[in-house]
A and B are shown apart, each in its own frame.
Chain A
Amino acid sequence: NAGVTQTPKFRILKIGQSMTLQCTQDMNHNYMYWYRQDPGMGLKLIYYSVGAGITDKGEVPNGYNVSRSTTEDFPLRLELAAPSQTSVYFCASSGIRALDYEQYFGPGTRLTVT
């Protein structure tokens, strides 16, 4: 049981390049999330999904896109990378039970855009 896995761990992009951050969970969780973590700013929600085929914007969605074709996978796409997207990105998942509030986080992807 690997939990939530993310790839890559580190990436450097040039301005204007594109990339996809991968996220997979093996806990059969319906809910999945993407956050970015900037120094001293806590975590900001980018996008989330309540199940396969359903996604919605979070607090800071501009410059990103997501898809959810399966329960397990929730990739985050950056188009036309900008320096403001330099951050650490975390994927998380949680179950569907009403009291199952815990979110399980992946180890993160550190992205630098130069």
Chain B
Amino acid sequence: GDSVTQMEGPVTLSEEAFLTINCTYTATGYPSLFWYVQYPGEGLQLLLKATKADDKGSNKGFEATYRKETTSFHLEKGSVQVSDSAVYFCALRGAGANSKLTFGKGITLSVRP
């Protein structure tokens, strides 16, 4: 079945540092890929998405590129802020019409001033 693997956390960075959060997946066909973010005390919200190979999703300074050859969708940001402190989930949705989201375990990012 479909699965998503995220790098182990937590991650602690200083403000303005470069961020990479690794995500790889296993799926049949051509899934859609997502990054969701969960700020403290809130539900998840979509950060960015990519629906086909080589697509780049971007939002709020975050980027991720759908790499079919390496089955990866790594999240990057050039300069993190304290307000980026949150839990980040990589997810995929299979190609079928009623496919559901499969989530990774999530990784906690803490950014210190």
A contact residues vs B (CB 8 Å cutoff): 4, 33, 40-43, 45, 48, 50, 58, 90, 92, 98-99, 101-108
B residues contacting the other copy or chain, number (CB 8 A): 20
Residue B89 lies at the interface, judged by CB distance under 8 Å to chain A:
yes
A-B contacts at CB below 8 angstroms, number: 46
Chain B residue with the shortest CB-CB distance to A58? B100
- Say whether B89 contacts A102, CB under 8 Å: no
Chain A residue with the shortest CB-CB distance to B98? A50
Known contacts A43-B44, A43-B89, A90-B43; 20 further A-B pairs (Cβ under 8 A) = A4-B43, A40-B106, A41-B105, A42-B103, A45-B100, A48-B100, A99-B51, A101-B32, A101-B34, A101-B51, A101-B93, A102-B34, A103-B46, A104-B45, A105-B44, A105-B45, A106-B43, A107-B41, A107-B43, A108-B42
